[in-house]
Amino acid sequence: MTTVETSPVDALVRSAPVNLRDMGGIRVQGGEIRPGFAIRADDLTLITDEVAAELVGAGLTSVIDLRSNLETRITGRGPLADHAVTYHHVALTTDIRGDLNRHDFFSGDYRRTYGPMYAALIENAAPLIVNALAVMATAPGTVAFHCTAGKDRTGVLAASLLLALGASDDEIVADYARTGPNVPAILERARAVIGPMTRAMGIDMDAASLAAGEQRFHGDAMRTALDTLRERHDGDALAPVRRAGLTDALVDLLRRRALDA
């Protein structure tokens, strides 16, 4: 049994997100995503009371938390729990230690490490991705989705959403690549979660080595993921998600929510 080093709520350092962005303006089939449909972010459980109030005041009604049970136990739900915001825990990864063992995060080739990892995540977590897309298709107001960094799991869900809406690969990669300049600030902000989490798993991964691996960020890792999925699934990068329950009716619902004011 893994003992989790939880952080007392009062001990967590709260701050504004450093990798939050509205997906409005991204070109998809039939137009552009409207502002206020969906926002992607790094950890929203670590925000301040003021940021929570601002998000809710701007229309936030639902949050999709993509983190593992281990991560959520460290942080809780944060200040948004005090607002009328529906919380959906959709853990795209449950075996973080296994992921670390399967992928060489410090190989020096970001694209070859993260691209296949993203493809595998879309394949393995496809039913959960469908669940998250269904929330976006049916929730009133703005839906926010986040993990710890707002990069990997968040990037995979963002890519799945954009694929469903008919965005080009260039648009998907460009959205993912916007995280790159934020990586140093992301790592600094995530320390409160990464430290207890890795120690709980018995992993020797100090902040310096983690930062060294992440600083090699390359936007084309997402392009590698899309290419890998098409190679495996007869040219359809979204095939695993379709097989898991992404119906034409759900895509139509997503499109109406994403494009109509």
pLDDT digits (tens, 9 = 90+) for 165-215: 999 999 999 999 999 999 999 988 988 777 666 666 665 555 545 555 555
**CB within 8 Å of 234: residues ≥ 6 apart:** none
Cα–Cα distances (Å) from 260 to 9, 32, 55, 62, 86, in that order, read 39, 10, 21, 18, 22
Q: Break the chain into its structural domains and give their ranges.
A: 13-259
Q: Give the pLDDT score at 96.
A: 56
Measured CA to CA, the distance from residue 183 to residue 185 in angstroms comes to: 5
Q: Would you place residue 37 in the very low, low, confident or very high pLDDT band (cuts 50, 70, 90)? A: very high
Q: Give the pLDDT score at 187.
A: 87
Measured CA to CA, the distance from residue 146 to residue 212 in angstroms comes to: 23
Average pLDDT, the chain: 88
**CB within 8 Å of 37: residues ≥ 6 apart:** 23, 24, 136, 142, 143, 257, 258
In percent, the amount of the chain with pLDDT more than 70 equals 82
Q: Give the pLDDT score at 1.
A: 40
Measured CA to CA, the distance from residue 142 to residue 248 in angstroms comes to: 22
Q: What residues pair up with 146 in beta bridges, in sequence order?
A: 41, 65
pLDDT tens digits, residue range 206-239?
554 555 555 588 999 999 999 999 999 999 999 9
Q: Give the pLDDT score at 13.
A: 84
**CB within 8 Å of 10: residues ≥ 6 apart:** none
pLDDT value at 243 more than 70: yes
Q: Give the pLDDT score at 4.
A: 45
Strands 31-32 and 86-89: unpaired
**CB within 8 Å of 238: residues ≥ 6 apart:** 160, 163, 164, 229, 246
Q: Give the pLDDT score at 225.
A: 98
Assigned CATH class of 13-259 = alpha beta
Q: Give the pLDDT score at 236.
A: 98
Q: Who wins on pLDDT, 196 or 72?
A: 72
pLDDT value at 141 more than 90: yes
For 95-247, where are the alpha helices, taking DSSP H only? 96-102, 110-124, 126-138, 153-164, 169-177, 183-200, 207-214, 220-232, 239-243
Q: Would you place residue 106 in the very low, low, confident or very high pLDDT band (cuts 50, 70, 90)? A: low
Measured CA to CA, the distance from residue 125 to residue 133 in angstroms comes to: 12
Q: Which of 39-48, 86-95, 189-198 is predicted with the least confidence, judged by mean pLDDT?
A: 189-198
Average pLDDT (120-141) is 98
Q: Would you place residue 97 in the very low, low, confident or very high pLDDT band (cuts 50, 70, 90)? A: low
Angle at which helices 110-124 and 220-232 pack, to 10 degrees? 50
pTM of the complete model: 0.90
